[in-house]
Copies of this chain bind each other. A is one copy, B any other.
Amino acid sequence: MPRAVREQQMLDAAVRTFGSRGYMAASMDEIAELAGVSKPLVYLYLNSKEDLFTACIRREARALTEAVRAGARPGLPADRQLWSGLAAFFTHTARHPDGWAVLHLQARTHGEVFAAEVAAMRAEIVAFVTQLILAAAREAHRDPDLREAEVAGLAEALVGAAESLADWANVTPGVTARQAATTLMNFAWAGLGDLMAGRHWTPPADGGDADVPEPQSEVTAPVR
């Protein structure tokens, strides 16, 4: 069997083991057995548990990013674009729950090196979503002056909401990928939709937040 095929089998077994057991509890013995190879061969090909985990993160990050890119349809109306992108995202995370657990739970919990791998993928997705929102807003011609910073904030909000919902959907019985995507559309679309139509939500004139009690000392940054 060619090395590349063997390596993919090892990575399949490793993603499943890291995702279901957690990084610390996963053993190389178990991964080798699940892959149907000897443990020395895993070390020969992937070098160490750390390197194997890094290879898993990179493969799963690439697969997720490609699924989201493939789901986005630049030609569609903005709501359909958002829907197809979200549907692709939640379909992928539901089909690959161990891959999602590796990316969103395990990689971020076991040290800064692994966390940095995932942060790079996340930054790429946020940049991609930012461009989609910007293009849709400009296409709409209703709010061509939507500020870049505002769009970046909207993309952060959308990505954060999607990550949180994917975690939730994967551990909540009976929640399908389609339901998770529909929930996020209900949450986000009319909001983004109103925004692109130039209908902003406006904070109350009195601030409304001025008398929020703010306890304790330790002011480490200027109040903004």
| A183 contacts B by Cβ under 8 Å | yes
Cβ B156 vs Cβ A158 within 8 A = no
**Known contacts A149-B172, A191-B189, A193-B190; A111/B109 CB under 8 A:** yes
Cβ A209 vs Cβ B83 within 8 A = yes
Q: How far is the CB of A222 from chain B (nearest CB, A)?
A: 9
This chain: copies in complex: 2
The listed residue (B110, B152, B203) touching A182 by CB distance below 8 A is: B203
How far apart sit A199 and B24, CA to CA, in the bound complex (Å)? 46
| A2 contacts B by Cβ under 8 Å | no
How far apart sit A200 and B66, CA to CA, in the bound complex (Å)? 29
How far apart sit A44 and B181, CA to CA, in the bound complex (Å)? 51
| A115 contacts B by Cβ under 8 Å | yes
Q: How far is the CB of A61 from chain B (nearest CB, A)?
A: 14
Cβ A165 vs Cβ B175 within 8 A = no
In the complex, 29 of the A-B residue pairs with CB atoms within 8 angstroms, ordered by the A residue number, are: A79-B201, A83-B203, A83-B208, A84-B212, A87-B212, A88-B212, A95-B221, A96-B221, A97-B220, A109-B111, A109-B115, A110-B111, A150-B183, A153-B168, A153-B169, A153-B180, A154-B183, A154-B187, A157-B162, A160-B164, A160-B165, A175-B224, A178-B203, A187-B191, A187-B195, A189-B201, A190-B191, A190-B195, A190-B199
